[in-house]
Structure 1
């Protein structure tokens, strides 16, 4: 048992060093996928907001480094580590992780002679959601690193521009899809957890992380809607009254230029449905979208898609 544990720890370090050599900041993980080193500030009477400034290890993703001596030092302090984490959002790659979660229902067995699709051979719920987004926003995922998780999911690795901060999220992009961005981390391939091993998908091990498509990047970093302007006028007659709390979203759509009209409409509709007034804001959003050049049919289809994606289980 001790020999097996040492072997696992040695392999974890080897994989982590290999990743660090490729410019990926790494740190040791335990078999629970959590940072292997405990905080040096545990037990202190007051909460300590430290991200490694104290110079001691044990700050989770903030320990991540590409320095090979530093990596060896971290693993020497955590000989029980069975894997490694890769910090997202850090230079030089500014890694973005798209995590396709598993469904509660078992996936169908592939045909014996069929070759797995490294990106989309995953549980149908998360795959369908990602494919719907790709069709809706006209992007195609490039060939890139894909990591298979022990539960049957997929981690798709993409890179972002240095001046864009991609936040972490769970299910915000679409049901079954989590995003790992700045401050988050991915479990590196070669790691062993209590549920099994993480491994590269066939045909992707030799690839470098590919740039995130621009349309997808806009979905991952939606801008905040503009501040709502005060109402000084009241419409009368048959014109429909626009809800005050949706005014900013409508103006956000009206300000869209070619190439961003559908994206802005989709984002605004999602926010309206998430806050409970999507139905009320549908007609004002349709009018705003038509004003930018979309057809009424396109606008209503986009809003309907937002309604489906934000609907509860």
Structure 2
């Protein structure tokens, strides 16, 4: 291993141990931002679901720990690690990450401000991590009895949420694209409590009644998503389609809305191949089979 890689691993371990002292469970990450340790079940012909019960390393966030000895063991098994991930949803902080992505065609920071004005909440002073691409991760603390799911673009295009089962790249990590760092004046802060109004937006809405799939295209919500795509201008088409497809899958009508969304995307100028690829990506992102 090159000297620079060894230094990056040593530095990542030091930052990970420091995070663990604050009650944040961590895992080693590679330069790709993925867990550095591969699944021990990757070659099993028919792997059974395992969250680390087998006792081996390589189960992603299920390996996350605040125990210094365990963390050193994880990094020793992954000497190529150059960063660390912080598992969300675990005590004592029950961390929720709000990922504001600058690569989106829509200004995610402005979208969050608009949501705050519309729903009457403010983001309190909290840890802010700056990403190499110019994005920001806001750290918030959730209630212990509420599970916040991961989502991509559900709040608005360009805003992703890291909740239970997800992780955030920790400050001090180095990736292929650069380093993650705490914004000045925020490193000493504890994750602030998530405003109740924002928390309500992060939770899936109750669905006591779901329209039959055959009626999904006439459902008001489904029609609204289709109209959202139809209103896209050049430069917004993929982003709007991806956002609408994510919402559709999260609301249980994704499969029924595939064809209407593809048709809407065709009307905006996207090719059928592009449209179906974007919708399939949204399905995977929300944990569904395309």
TM-score range, shorter chain: 0.7 to 0.9
| Partner residue, 2:224 | 273
Structure whose CA Rg is larger: 1
| Partner residue, 2:121 | 139
Superimposed CA distance per residue, residues 70-110 of structure 1 (whole angstroms, 9 cap, x where no aligned partner): 001100111110000000011111000000001367xxxxx
Structure 1 residues 1-313: aligned runs within 5 Å: 2-103=2-103, 125-227=107-209, 273-274=224-225, 276=226
RMSD: 2.6
Cα shift at 1:47: 2.3
TM-score calculated relative to the size of structure 2 = 0.74
* Structure 2: 5+ residue stretches without partners: 229-242, 245-263, 269-290
Give the ranges of 4+ consecutive aligned residues of structure 1 lying more than 3 Å apart after TM superposition. 244-247, 269-272, 309-313
Measure the CA separation in 1 of the matches of 2:104 and 2:109: 14
Measure the CA separation in 1 of the matches of 2:179 and 2:222: 37
Contact 2:104-2:158 at 8 Å conserved across structures: no
Question: How many residues align structurally?
Answer: 231
TM-score calculated relative to the size of structure 1 = 0.68
Does 39-48 or 13-22 show the bigger shift? 39-48
Cα shift at 1:272: 6.0
* Structure 1: 5+ residue stretches without partners: 106-123, 230-243, 250-268, 279-308
